[in-house]
Amino acid sequence: MRCANDGNLTAYNGYELRNRAGDLMGWVSSSTVSDDRDITKVAFMDPNNKCFMVTKGRFTVKGGVVWVK
């Protein structure tokens, strides 16, 4: 994917990324998962086709959406 970074998991690629208010931040391009299976980093493309990365926050996955809190 265009905004993919050095993630180690592709399972969530293409999932929506939303903030705690439910606002669409973009679509997951790559993610990094720890040995404990926690998502620690998400690279994504926003609706304006710009690339960003979230490295702080608590991530959860539900119903094809990655939530960052």
pTM score of the predicted model: 0.90
Torsion region of 49: left, alpha or beta (phi above 0 gives left; psi -120 to 50 gives alpha): left
Residue 57 pLDDT class (50, 70, 90 cuts): confident
pLDDT tens digits along 11-34: 999 999 999 999 999 999 999 999
Torsion region of 48: left, alpha or beta (phi above 0 gives left; psi -120 to 50 gives alpha): alpha
Per-domain residue ranges of the chain: 16-68
